[in-house]
Amino acid sequence: RREQAQLKAGVVTQDTEPWQQDPTFPGLHRVGGVDLSYVKGDDTSACASLVVLSYPALEVLYEDCRMVAVNAPYVAGFLAFREVPFLVEAVQRLQKEEPKLSPQVLLVDGNGVLHPRGFGVACHLGVLTDLPCIGVAKNLLQVDGLVRDDLHKEQIRSLQSLGDTFPLTGTSGRVLGMVLRSCNSSKPLYISVGHRVSLDTAVRLVKSCCRYRIPEPIRQADIRSREYIRK
């Protein structure tokens, strides 16, 4: 908890990059996605995957998949301590070996400030790499009074068109994230700030990266890590 609190002090929840200032992101050329896929039936063997896609074409420019031994135990609210070190290593390898392909922003399968202590995996990875990071979760993390009740389900049903959103406002009054309808699926995405990006920018970027429900950088990282394990 102490280390998490110290790292949290470094989180920046506003836009910091020139490419973030224009709604069409004219200066954005490379978007990264990360994923950790576990070997079936073995919660200590996993494949850490980092991909970098061109933007806005969303074509894969770089791929790094490696098997890793996950030794830290799973503790709710502290998942980042189990998984992020391998993702940081992947980012550092890329920055050293192929610096011209380094991502300008990372999309993370998980939460950012939408977290019991406001410091999810997307924040953790962002602070340690000092890259803009966005949390993209498939399920609602029930914190600060947020619950999957009838009202929440009704709000999801109200998302009629692609790109429709509604804010996730906790009982504290803070907006912790945004619910986004990213495709024709009835299931939305839960977007939250990780590091060095505003929520509005995060939502716009995720929306622009979606060919399917899951944004393409995360989707490609997931596909490739699973294929690596299969082979």
pLDDT in tens, 93-139: 999 999 999 999 999 999 999 999 999 999 999 999 999 999 999 99
What mean pLDDT, rounded, does the chain reach? Answer: 95
Provide the residue count of the chain.
231
Domain residue ranges of the chain, discontinuous segments joined by +: 26-230
Does 211 score more than 80 pLDDT?
A: yes
DSSP secondary structure string for all residues of 30-98: EEEEEEEEEPTT-TTEEEEEEEEEETTT--EEEEEEEEEE--SPP-TT-HHHHHHHHHHHHHHHHHHH-
Least-confidence region, from 8-17, 36-45, 152-161: 152-161
Q: How confident is the model at residue 185 (pLDDT cuts 50, 70, 90)?
A: confident
pLDDT of residue 74: 87
Residue 160 has pLDDT above 90, yes or no: no
pLDDT at 177 over 80: yes
* The CATH number of domain 26-230 is 3.30.2170.10: yes
Is the pLDDT at 167 greater than 80? The verdict is yes
231 pLDDT band (50/70/90 cuts)?
very high
